[in-house]
Structure 1
Amino acid sequence: MKFSVGDKVLFKKESLRGRVSKIISIYKVLVLTQDGFEMNVSVNDLVRVEEGTERIASYGRVSNFKDFKETSFKAKKSQKSKSICRVDLHIELLTSNYHYMSNIEIVQLQLNVCEKKIHKALNSKATKLEIIHGIGEGILREEVHNLLRDYKLRFYLSKDGGATEVIL
């Protein structure tokens, strides 16, 4: 659609109106909005307002012009994020009386919680399991990796080394 300087326009994807103040190219125009802002806009995103049809209702609901694919993509993305299980093995989060436990008892408790979470993730429709073990000396990390090898699961260490991501 060709526009001329001074044409009144409506935005298709937003509830804005304005006036063409400059023709940049055959594809872009500069529009001065009713709020006083100048915007560089594609001509495909505008509709010319004909004289005598000043009301937006003459052009239908402007909000109907939004892309349907964009909203359906967002729904798929949120479904994907639900398929990740996380377990934090920091002992402070697992029990309050860890001060009275030996190091072996602490690691054993953490491994028991980890094993339960692995079973839960395998039985659910999760695609990933993130096991947060912390950086530390690496004893818990090695035990978790041994446990994952027993289950024959593929895993890799996160960038900072404080977590292991498991592909289910």
Structure 2
Amino acid sequence: MHNFEIGDKVSVLDEDIDGVVLKIKDTSITIETIDGFVMTYFVNELIKINNINHLNNVFSSKSLTSVLNDKAEKKKRYFVKEKKNKKDEFVLEVDLHIEKLVKNFRGLSNFEILNIQMDNAKGQLEFAIRKRMPKLVFIHGVGEGVLKSELEFLFSKYDGITFKEASYQKYGVGATEVYIKQSLNR
């Protein structure tokens, strides 16, 4: 059963036409459009637009926000605890570029620069061993390979130390990854 009455303001569902109900006969309703045309539609093609108070009663005293919150689907929250493997552990990165080690290196000879770099490398390596760090990375750069050769000589003096080129994706060329095998009786 339709609930339209003569005088109701209506809108046509599939067209941009508004009007006022003039006549109701069975399932057809005759309206006068805002432009003054008289047209006839079926009941299911029209919607009543004049009874705003009726719409307000549908929502009662609830605010739009609370209605939307009621409609919102409760989403479950999932937390995935990341399993840390050895690759995710902290890795000490030691940059041996001279400008990272001293404020002013102008006037230093290549021999003095190499000694500063090697002293720093040895200190960091021994620190990592004391702190039982499993891995560290020395960033030495490319250059002529003198520093890299000296580092490899240094690493070879220690038992339980292995080394290889560091990840190209992460460090590019010019870095060495050092692994420290820790003894259990320390």
TM-score for both structures, normalised by structure 2: 0.51
Report the equivalent of 2:165: 157
More helix by share: 1
Report the equivalent of 2:130: 123
For the residues of structure 1 that align with 2:140 and 2:129, how far apart are their CA atoms? 19
Q: Within the alignment, does 1:134 sit opposite 2:147 as a pair?
A: no
Report the equivalent of 1:108: 115
Report the equivalent of 2:82: 73
CA drift at 1:157: 1.4
Deviations 1:47-80 (A, max 9, x none): xxxxxxx9358x7x4233x2x4xx2116x36x85
For the residues of structure 2 that align with 1:142 and 1:155, how far apart are their CA atoms? 12
Cα RMSD, aligned residues only: 2.4
TM-score for both structures, normalised by structure 1: 0.56
Runs of at least 4 residues off by over 4 Å: none
**Structure showing greater relative contact order (alpha-carbon pairs closer than 8 Å, 6 or more residues apart):** 1
Deviations 1:92-133 (A, max 9, x none): 111122111111110000000001110111122422100000
Q: Within the alignment, does 1:55 sit opposite 2:62 as a pair?
A: no
Any stretches of 5+ residues in structure 1 without a counterpart?
A: 1-53
Report the equivalent of 1:39: none
Percent identity between matched residues is: 35
SS of 1:106's equivalent in the other structure is helix
Larger Rg: 2
CA drift at 1:81: 3.5
For the residues of structure 2 that align with 1:133 and 1:139, how far apart are their CA atoms? 10
Any stretches of 5+ residues in structure 2 without a counterpart?
A: 1-68, 181-186
Deviations 1:129-168 (A, max 9, x none): 0000000000000001100111131000134430000112
For the residues of structure 2 that align with 1:157 and 1:82, how far apart are their CA atoms? 19
